[in-house]
Structure 1
Amino acid sequence: MNATSVRAPPSVPASRALHIALWVAQVLVAFAFFMAGTAKLTQPIDELAKTMSWITPSSGPLVRFIGLSEVAGALGLLLPSITRILPVLTGLAGVGCTTIMVLAAGVHLSRGEYSGLTAPIVLGGLSAFIAWGRLKKAPIPPRA
């Protein structure tokens, strides 16, 4: 084979199954992030500390920031795709949610809380899948 006969494979459009899987992931991850973020934004820090061992009374502003980031991520996973206004933001929200989960896993690892790794690994993996799917494999076209 010479260099002129080697060609890239033709671009294959994303399958319907991939779009459905991405939408299911987007809804599930958005729901989880919205619920967790809302709790961190609305519940008293002392109440949160009873169920989340990493929270201390002095970590109030950080907890609120994490909650706000989670709610923003949840909205970013759905609204741009639903409205088709700047749908690339959905993929970027997936990157942001993945980052949040990597940091959460790091906190649990540093504290020796290995049982607390399940949610960050699952949600982080789904968020990475959304980021890959919506940025590379199956982007949603913007509104015309």
Structure 2
Amino acid sequence: MNLALWICAGLLATVALMGGITKTFVPREKLATAPGGAWTGEISAGFVKTLGALEILAAAGLILPAVLDIAPVMVPVTAICWIALMVGAMITHFRHGEPMLVAVNLAYLALAVFVAWGRLGPETFIG
């Protein structure tokens, strides 16, 4: 189970890092023309970059606290924050008529639920 939790956290961290770098460093106008990126054209560039920075922090929060053994409780806390972010992403993509992206976000949400549950329960780092 510990290995499965590490794999899920690693997958989520990879997704968060890729999305965060994209949102932080790719111009909003270019993001708005990409598939699934139309929503970025409707909000400020600052908001998009803030989301990107939060996703980069999430990538770090899913891995580093456990690896460095510094506040490892931050791993499930980060997973819970990722759940909230995915709910928002699902709502946004649903409003834009992008059911495939809603399903992708639901998969990420399920992984985050598993990580949060596992790290708060049976495979906690606290002990």
Same fold (TM over 0.5): yes
Distance in 1 separating the partners of 2:115 and 2:43: 34
> Are 2:34 and 1:40 aligned?
no
Fraction of identical pairs, as percent: 30
> Are 2:127 and 1:139 aligned?
no
Q: How far 1:117 moved relative to its partner?
A: 1.0
TM-score computed with the length of structure 2 as normaliser: 0.92
The C-alpha deviation readout for 1:50-84, integer Å capped at 9, x for no partner, is 11111116421111111111111110000001011
Which of 24, 37, 40 is the equivalent residue of 2:7?
Answer: 24
TM-score computed with the length of structure 1 as normaliser: 0.82
Distance in 1 separating the partners of 2:43 and 2:92: 16
Distance in 2 separating the partners of 1:106 and 1:58: 15
Q: Which amino acid aligns with 1:46?
A: E
Q: How far 1:121 moved relative to its partner?
A: 0.7
Q: How far 1:135 moved relative to its partner?
A: 1.3
How many pairs align? 125
**Could you say what the CA RMSD is over the residues aligned between the two structures, in angstroms?**
1.3
> Are 2:116 and 1:124 aligned?
no
| TM alignment of 1:47-126, pairs within 5 A | 47-51=30-34, 52-56=37-41, 58-126=43-111
Is the 8 Å Cα contact of residues 105 and 117 (structure 1) preserved in structure 2?
yes
Distance in 2 separating the partners of 1:57 and 1:90: 32
1:91–1:45: structure 2 CA closer, same or farther, 3 Å change rule?
same
Q: How far 1:96 moved relative to its partner?
A: 0.7
1:93–1:113: structure 2 CA closer, same or farther, 3 Å change rule?
same
Higher helix content, 1 or 2: 2
Is the 8 Å Cα contact of residues 22 and 133 (structure 1) preserved in structure 2?
yes
Distance in 1 separating the partners of 2:93 and 2:60: 25
